Amino acid sequence: MRNKVKTTILLFIFSISLTAQGYKVDKENSQISITGTSNIHDWSAVVREYEFSGKVNSKSISDICFEVVVKSIKSGKSGMDKNIYKALKSDDFPKIEFKSKTLKIKGSEIIGKGTLTIAGQSKDINMSFEFIKRNHIYIVSGTIALKMTDYGVDPPTTAFGIIKTRDEIKLEVLLSLKSENYIISNN
C-alpha cells in the first residue's frame, strides 16, 4: 500500500512538471533585431543580451518575462549605438521588458496580449507569432511593428538634424526555447 501511495505521488509530481515546464532561450539558435529607416537610408541593429522565462504547455505559454539589455543593441556603428541608447534613455531605463500572464497556442501560432515597456513607458500590445515544436525545442518567430513615439521615444537625429530616423521600427524575433529540464548530450 505504501508503494502505491509513493508511486501515485511521483506520477502526480511528474505530470505537473510535464504540463508546465520552464523554458529558457537557446541563444546560439536565436536572434533579435531592430530595423528601421531614415530620410537617407535603412538601418538595423541586433540585440546581444536578452533573457526569456516562461512556462510552456500544449495550450499556452504562461508567466512570460522577456528582457532586453538596451546597451547590448548594436548597429555596427558606435555613433548610431550612442544615439539609440540616448533615445531609449538607457541610463534611467537599462532594459526593455515584455511581460504577459498567458499567450495562447493555436496550432502553429501564439496569440495574445502583453505589456511592453520601453524607456519607462508601458503599453499593452497584441501579438501573433509563428510557433513550431521540434522534439524538446520550441521555435517562436515573428515581427512586431512599433512607433517610437508611442513609448515617449523621440526618433533619433544626427548630423545637426539633417538625418532623421522615421518613427516606425520593426522588432524581428526568432527564439529557440529549450526546456530547463532537457539536457542535450554530445555523446
Domain boundaries, the chain: 22-179
Residue 17 has pLDDT above 50, yes or no: no
Residue 12 has pLDDT above 50, yes or no: no
pTM over 0.95: no
Residue 14 has pLDDT above 50, yes or no: no
Task: List, for residues 80-91, the tens digit of each pLDDT value.
Answer: 899 999 999 999
What secondary structure letter does DSSP report for 159?
T
Report the range of poorest mean pLDDT among 1-10, 79-88, 113-122. Answer: 1-10
pLDDT of residue 10: 37
Mean pLDDT of 23-39: 89
Considering the domain 22-179 in this protein, what is its CATH number?
Answer: 2.40.128.110
Strands, DSSP E only, in the chain? 21-25, 31-38, 42-47, 50-56, 60-69, 73-74, 95-106, 109-118, 121-134, 137-147, 157-158, 163-179
